Structure 1
């Protein structure tokens, strides 16, 4: 595996997005395998902080893990302009979940707290993130280059307790890099570099303003994302 890209996963469509919502009815989202417990372990342990002047009616701000990337790695997310604050928060944290997977890869830590913070404890999304990182670590690979994310949309459930965040990713300029030798495996761009994501996001019960991934599906060779 030369390019840093997603290994084959189940194909998704808008029907899959609907299925994600239906399977999460009333509550309670996967991507790249080649190319798990929340930072604090669970909702109740998530750190929270509020402005010194915040009154009881104000929403606490969740302390979020920092995810600094090396100079040779760039993750670019298109701006998302949504008037609904919940949809905007769900979209932002779905992006953070994707970022946390890449961060775990560059840190070479399959138990990195960042992806655990942005996914539900013991959820399929958390297991997926861990597997993505583990596959790279086992192969002695990290990443180098640029990955772009675009076309973000949010589909809320009828009860508005969960939302499916869909977006595209472009890895034409993202490559695998050997950890020991620092050798970067450059490859030619192809349809294999485009992915369509569907991430089921659910709001944290105790950490206000935080949304976490519960389930995730990714379609590889996504022509619609070109």
Structure 2
């Protein structure tokens, strides 16, 4: 099971096509750099992972607690525009909330549902369920970069960004093993999402599609 299978959406967006969903394998099929160490990951039991320290959640928003070996680098730049910066912040929180749901093994966790709706929420639920079915979660460092954000006349936001999964992997709960896979062009993924501000003032992701190996995201 590759780290972060691509999400499928009912409606396509600009700059994304030929979507694929990676199949999951067993925890005995580790490939490539099995003996390499990765930041924040070990081969001990799952019980050793403790939640990361997190800032208090703003009033009315879910608190996001993640295992200490789940880390991020968000290279998204502050725009100086309050509305655009709010979009980027809520998109970031959705990403974290999905990983929290995976760590909690809860496909209906309220965290990611707070930040998503429509097809994005439905596909996130399926994505989280895939990890639950395989008794696995995410581990390691994931980097987000090369973002492009536009606020449209209809009030929605179009966000395209890249994800670097080269240091992010699957960790199996039963054995505590990390499936460290080789880095390829498919370790880099482009995402295109549509967000809308709801009546709570939250920019929820309504649609999200992705494509592995995009030339836009290669190092």
Range into which the TM-score falls when normalised by the shorter chain: 0.7 to 0.9
Structure 1 distance, partners of 2:162, 2:113, is 22
- Which residue in the other structure is 1:137 paired with? 132
| Paired positions, count | 183
Q: Secondary structure at the match of 2:106?
A: coil
- Which residue in the other structure is 1:202 paired with? 196
Conservation of the 8 A alpha-carbon contact between 1:34 and 1:132: no
Conservation of the 8 A alpha-carbon contact between 1:170 and 1:194: yes
Does 2:110 correspond to 1:118?
Answer: no
Q: Which runs of 5+ in 1 are unaligned?
A: 18-29, 36-60
Higher relative contact order (CA 8 A, sep 6+): 1
Structure 2 distance, partners of 1:101, 1:192, is 21
Runs of 4+ in 1 over 2 A off after TM superposition: 7-10, 12-17, 30-35
Q: When the two structures are superposed, what TM-score results if normalisation uses the length of structure 1?
A: 0.73
Conservation of the 8 A alpha-carbon contact between 1:94 and 1:212: yes
- Which residue in the other structure is 2:36 paired with? none
- Which residue in the other structure is 1:25 paired with? none
Q: Secondary structure at the match of 1:199?
A: strand
Conservation of the 8 A alpha-carbon contact between 2:6 and 2:211: no
- Which residue in the other structure is 2:82 paired with? 85
Q: Which runs of 5+ in 2 are unaligned?
A: 25-57
Conservation of the 8 A alpha-carbon contact between 1:105 and 1:136: yes
